[in-house]
Amino acid sequence: MTPPPSPLRSPRPTPPAPDDHDADDRLVDRGLPLGMRLLALVGALSFVMLGLNSLLPVLQPPPTPPSMPDQREGNLT
């Protein structure tokens, strides 16, 4: 007798026993639905973009200091 499934885990189909080779009885795990796959893709891409945006200031060259006007040229009072 098998124990009842845990309430914390979703029940997944068990693979057939090794001696059962009937292709019609084989359960196919199709994975996540398309909407969940797209949501995971958007989340992964946003995570990558956040990482790239945090690295951009480090990769940019330092700003040049502003040039001071020449003080020798000008009106002396």
- As a whole-number percent, the residues of the chain with pLDDT over 90 amount to 30
Beta carbons of 26 and 16 less than 8 angstroms apart? yes
40 or 14, which is more confident: 40
Between CA 30 and CA 12 the distance in angstroms is 11
Taking the whole predicted model, whether its pTM rises above 0.85 is answered as: no
Per the document, the length of the chain is 77
Helical spans, DSSP H, in the chain: 34-59
Digit-coded pLDDT (tens) for 29-64? 778 899 999 999 999 999 999 999 999 988 888 888
